[in-house]
Amino acid sequence: MNKYLIIFILFLTSIKANALIEVDITRGNLNPLPVAVSPLSIDENSKKNFKKILKKNNIGSEISIIIENNLKTSGLFNPLDKDAFLQTPDIANLKPRFEDWSLIKAQALITGKVSYVDEKLRVEFRLWDVLAGKEMMALAFTTVPNNWRRIGHMITDKVYERLTGEKGYFDTRIIYVAEEGPKTNRKKKLALMDQDGSNNIFLTYGNELVLTPRFHPESQMVTYLSYFQNRPRVYLLDIETGNQEVVGDFPGMTFAPRFSPDGKKIIMSFAKDGNSDIYTMDLENRIVQKITNHPSIDTSPSYSPDGKYICFNSDRSGYQQIYIMKSDGSNVKRISFGNGLYGTPVWSPRGDLIAFTKLHKGKFYIGVMRIDGSGERLLTENFYQEAPSWSPNGRVLIFYRETKTNDKGEGFSAKLWSIDLTGYNERLVNTPTDASDPSWSSLLSN
């Protein structure tokens, strides 16, 4: 990921401090902002070169489609039908005729230009406020041609941030478990894809059971549970090199791994003699620290973004509940008190909320609560769903669902779903096979 060059050229013109168009993402959005995403203009010579290198007829159009799809899936924007556009891409990029665009009810307009320069892909884009008739943002990116999809995602992030005031989440990846086969003998592989479902690849072959993969906050490393040689242990995998190693030298099952926010430690559960406690291991000096010390099951640990606290799942009160403690294991406090069982707590990257899975009266819920346990809000209910993971801006949750089977055990499927923090915009996330255990990366461009 660090091998290719991305040069960021900023040429800011008339950026207003207070946006005229604003999108409020704190409440359910029933009026997505109409936005026109013009295909990016491209000169004939560049078009020919990119067609040769990337096998795409019109890379300007392709990039605009990525932006369009991203904006649409966010649920906050309504990209307008291109067939209604009156201005051609090259003219629109230079000087849009705002009347033409407001005629089709666009409030925001994205235009741009793609060129082939020094064997690189250069993309300029502009964001326009149609009603005010003003340019809101102008940026350019230069990178290797193979990175064209990421440019589309990065542009979306910039537009999203400009219009909502929040950082975007489009230049990200999802790691998950790809599943196939009958329920009684499921074949599972680690899989990785862009957040929009593209560039899906498998990282393992499916010969051993793999579960719960999680991203390192910065680098291309992943931690997960593998049953390699029938010994369930937490592993570390470098995506780029394919190198795998067992984490630590534990004489029993380790599971439920995550990275600390600074990426220096792995936190996980270790089970022995019927008891599961939470441990950390420093990746540099390999020092292992025991964090919980209780005869109950302590698992699913998740750090606060500042690394000072840990939320986790424990049945020390009799049944699965959510607790928080300081990162050294002191000050353990229960925070879930509603009716039902609580599991899979995950601390939001914004630090203000903890998402969780709840089981009550035979139904599964994905919900959030404040870090003191107050303000519990259930976002969605289903026959079976669990394991929410936060987008890096703390606004969207991805999780997975499984369906019921009939008497013959048929009809089983597992799929990834996402939902906004507001409870709106619940949608299926496309994967080539059945899928579970999703985990969202941080922004790649950080």
Query: Which residues form the interface with other proteins (CB under 8 A)?
Result: 182-186, 209, 211-212, 225, 230, 232, 252-253, 255-256, 269, 271, 273-276, 297, 299-300, 313, 315, 319-320, 341, 343-344, 357, 359, 362, 383-384, 386-387, 402, 404-407, 409, 412, 437
Nearer to other proteins, 297 or 443 (CB): 297
Question: Cβ of residue 300: shortest distance to other proteins, in angstroms?
Answer: 5
How far, in Å, are 41, 113, 150, 196, 431 from residue 58 at the CA level? 9, 12, 16, 20, 26
Under DSSP, the state recorded for 38 is P
Question: Cβ of residue 434: shortest distance to other proteins, in angstroms?
Answer: 14
Q: How far apart are CA 188 and CA 177, in angstroms?
A: 6
Nearer to other proteins, 327 or 344 (CB): 344
Question: Cβ of residue 172: shortest distance to other proteins, in angstroms?
Answer: 23
Helix ranges (DSSP H) in 131-213: 148-164
Nearer to other proteins, 412 or 424 (CB): 412
Question: Cβ of residue 13: shortest distance to other proteins, in angstroms?
Answer: 51
Question: Cβ of residue 141: shortest distance to other proteins, in angstroms?
Answer: 39
Nearer to other proteins, 339 or 406 (CB): 406
Question: Cβ of residue 330: shortest distance to other proteins, in angstroms?
Answer: 22
Question: Cβ of residue 222: shortest distance to other proteins, in angstroms?
Answer: 17
How far, in Å, are 32, 77, 146, 149 from residue 69 at the CA level? 14, 10, 19, 12
The two tokens of residue 138 are 């102008």
Nearer to other proteins, 319 or 337 (CB): 319
Closest CA to 122 of 139, 135, 134: 139
Nearer to other proteins, 50 or 255 (CB): 255
Nearer to other proteins, 89 or 301 (CB): 301
Query: Are 151 and 163 within 8 A, CB to CB?
Result: no
How far, in Å, are 38, 45, 80, 122, 124 from residue 90 at the CA level? 9, 14, 18, 15, 12
Nearer to other proteins, 252 or 432 (CB): 252
The two tokens of residue 424 are 């709106």
Nearer to other proteins, 40 or 322 (CB): 322
Question: Cβ of residue 246: shortest distance to other proteins, in angstroms?
Answer: 16
Where are the strands (E) in 104-153, listed by range?
Answer: 108-117, 120-129, 134-143
How far, in Å, are 62, 221, 262, 308 from residue 218 at the CA level? 28, 8, 8, 19
Helix ranges (DSSP H) in 106-246: 148-164
Question: Cβ of residue 403: shortest distance to other proteins, in angstroms?
Answer: 8
Closest CA to 69 of 149, 183, 189: 149
Query: Are 227 and 210 within 8 A, CB to CB?
Result: yes
Instruction: State the DSSP string of 297-362.
Output: BEEEEEE-TTSSEEEEEE-TTSS-EEEEEETTS-S-EE---SSSEEEEEEE-TTSSEEEEEEEETT
Cα dihedral sign, 210-215-220-223? negative
